[in-house]
Chain A
Amino acid sequence: MGGVATVTTQQAGPRKAPKTGRFSSSVFKKSVMAVSGIIFVLYLIAHMVGNLKAFAGADTFNHYSEFLRELGEPILPRLTVLTIIRVVLLVAVAAHIWAAVSLWRQAKRARPIGYVTKKRVQQSYASRTMRWGGIILILFIIWHILDLTLGAVNPAGRDSLPYGRLVEGFQNPIVTIWYAVALVVLGFHIRHGVWSATQTLGHSNKRRERALNIFATAFAVVLIGGYLLIPFSVLFGIID
């Protein structure tokens, strides 16, 4: 130190006892988010393919909806497969939210005093909006089920056919815009989610990093593009 007399002492702070639960690890919680996220992504692919059947006309669309309810018949009773899918999704949603809330609280504890000045160096918009975006998405999903699955908030009413709810719902530009905004939020959520899940499950590395990020963006754009086609096609009278 060349005779410089500046010394800063750092008292050894008290050793904090590590959390001993297997499920209390932040990395375990992240892997819960990643696995439940993968379940959502697989479901979203199937859901988008189903949606696109709206272009094949009312009969095909309504038949497909009925097919989902009859899936597995006659081996299994009606609605069995669909109910299993719904239960898996519900459990995944609950796990995703539990892990997110828990990690959000940990992150809050980890920065009790904020910076006066903080600049972003490389973070993406998508990564920054995961938490509030997630809250928008859960509200959207509740609305979406009330609207197109149950018909409770749909102008076509509860006793309508799926195609009728689709067309009557999206003829209202406000509904279409609300769906479009929520889908864009979903796109950002997926863009960071796909990349983050790969990291969390330990399958990213320096060589794959760039390709993974490009794939995540491309996947989100294609998926959300597929979803956006339907409401705007209804709004502009391509589907009626």
Chain B
Amino acid sequence: MQLTLRVWRQPSPAVKGKMANYHLTDVSPDMSFLEMLDVLNEQLILSGEEPVAFDHDCREGICGSCGLMINGIAHGPEQTTTCQLHMRSFSDGDTIDIEPWRSGGFPVIKDLVVDRSAFDRIISAGGFISAPTGTAPDAHATPVPKVDADAAFDAATCIGCGACVAACPNGSAMLFTAAKVTHLGLLPQGQPERDTRVVRMVAQQDAEDFGGCTNIGECSAVCPKGISMETISRLNHDLLGALRAGGVPTS
């Protein structure tokens, strides 16, 4: 395959970036998208140019490190992570636009790498349970209804890649936050902090320059784990209940 890549190049956060054109020949359709970028980088290094910086780690679709805007769609044409996207999803002679996630909460560090530590701060605001530690309790010590366990697990599959933010016309992180709120809020262990969790996580999300949700649904449509819009409804339900109960976010 022959490809023309248009890649966002930005040496550092302070410098203005721009799209740069590269031509690649002999790309195998069996390569993953990231392997194709590796080939590009080898080519750049051999010609003495700066390689393209991009995030990646497990390359198995489970860590959430990789994430690129490919031809205007988060993670590209297949609903999966960028590392699980293969070049057979493209055609010979294609021009592919590659951009970083764009959000006020995700400042660009270099080229295609963005700082997603805002997600960590949302988690540290309330995405945890305060449970006594020790040996694991018996599996049947705290019964959980099957429906709740399934819904909690579906939400817990969120890998925090940030595709929801990237795809959202409002740059909102609601699907991410909602997945965490749903995952913990549905289980018995998550109940003691259920109200404070949702109030604090949403307050942190707003403070990180993410937008508000307008229920458009772009997030769920590109989510590699298919997290449902239902989680957002659940977050809203929990938050409004917590506000009625007098919950106010504290710093």
Contacts and interface: CB of A to CB of B under 8 A. Distances in A.
Interface stretch (B53-61, B129-137, B138-146): B53-61
B236 A30 contact: yes
Interface in B48-96: 53-57, 69, 71-73
Contacts, number: 196
A18 B69 contact: no
B203 A122 contact: no
B251 A123 contact: no
In terms of DSSP, what is the predominant structure of the interface of chain A? Answer: loop
Given A18-B251, A22-B243, A127-B215, A202 B104 contact: no
A19 B104 contact: no
Contact of A206 (B53, B228, B235): B228
Contacts of B102: 111, 113-115
Interface string B133-177: 000000000000000000000000000000000010111100000
A21 B243 CA distance: 11
A11 B117 contact: yes
B217 A27 contact: no
B47 interface: no
Contact of A115 (B72, B172, B204, B238): B72
A206 B230 contact: yes
Nearest to A27: B239
Interface residues of A, number: 58
Contact of A109 (B6, B8, B125, B209): B209
A123 B202 CA distance: 24
B209 A110 contact: yes
A116 B203 contact: no
Nearest to A119: B72
B97 A24 contact: no
Contact of B207 (A11, A19, A128, A200): A19
Contact of B236 (A15, A17, A201): A201
B208 interface: yes
Given A18-B249, A110-B171, A113-B102, A11 B240 contact: no
B40 interface: no
Given A16-B207, A110-B103, A116-B97, A8 B55 contact: yes
B234 A202 contact: yes
Given A115-B69, A117-B97, A17 B240 contact: no
A28 B250 CA distance: 16
Contacts of A124: 216
Given A18-B251, A27-B235, A205-B233, A123 B206 contact: no
Contacts of A60: none
A196 interface: yes
B120 A107 contact: no
B170 A200 contact: no
Nearest to A102: B212
Given A107-B211, A111-B171, A115-B99, A12 B203 contact: no
B81 to A, nearest CB: 16
Contacts of B217: 122-123, 127
A20 to B, nearest CB: 5
Contact of B125 (A18, A112, A115, A192): A18
B23 interface: no
Given A25-B249, A110-B211, A203-B233, 8 more contacts: A8-B113, A10-B117, A11-B115, A20-B203, A21-B248, A24-B203, A107-B172, A123-B169
14 contacts: A8-B113, A11-B117, A18-B207, A20-B248, A27-B239, A107-B211, A109-B211, A110-B171, A110-B172, A110-B209, A115-B102, A130-B214, A192-B215, A202-B241
Interface of B: 6, 8, 19, 53-57, 69, 71-73, 97, 99, 102-105, 107, 109, 113, 115-118, 120-121, 125, 167, 169-172, 199-200, 202-218, 221-222, 228-230, 232-241, 243, 248-251
